[in-house]
Amino acid sequence: MDDSENNDQYYDYHLKTTSWVFEALKSVLTEEKPDFTLVNIQSADSIGHRFGPDSFEVAQAVKLIDQEIGKLFSYMKKSDILSDTAVMILADHGMSPVSKAIPINVLMN
C-alpha cells in the first residue's frame, strides 16, 4: 500500500467517524436524556496534522463538521430538546504550517 492509499484511508476513516459520532449523539440525547454531554470531534485536528492546516482535506473536514452541527440542531429542534439545551463549541488549539521542527529531545541531552 503506498502513501496515497494510506492517506485516503486515513481521511475517509476520520470523515466516517465524524458522521457516526453525530448520529450516536442524536440517539443519546433523545433516548438517554443526559444532563451533560461532552463530544470531542477529532477529525479536523487529526486531518490537519496529517495534511496541513490549509489543505483541501481540512476544508472538507470543517465543512462536514459544520453540516453535521446543522443537522444536529435541526434534529434537536424537531425533537423538542433544543430550547432546553446549552451548546458550546470549543477548539483545543489553532494550527499553522510548520517549516522547521526543533527536536526538543536532542536539545535536552
Task: Decide: 15 and 61 in contact? Cβ < 8 Å.
Answer: yes
* 22 vs 80: CA distance, rounded Å: 17
Note down the domain range covering 45: 3-108
Nearest of 22, 17, 70, 64 to residue 42 by alpha carbon: 17
- The CA distances from residue 77 to 17, 44, 63, 85, in Å, are 24, 26, 21, 10
pLDDT score for 2: 63
CA angle 51, 71, 53 (to 5 degrees): 15
Q: What is the DSSP letter of 84?
A: G
pLDDT score for 76: 97
This model's pTM is above 0.85 = no
In the chain, how many domains are there? 1
Mean pLDDT per 10-residue run, the chain (109 residues)? 80 94 96 95 94 94 97 97 93 85 84
How would you write 21-67 as a 3-class SS string?
HHHHHHHHHHHHCCCCCCCCCCHHHHHHHHHCCCCHHHHHHHHHHHH
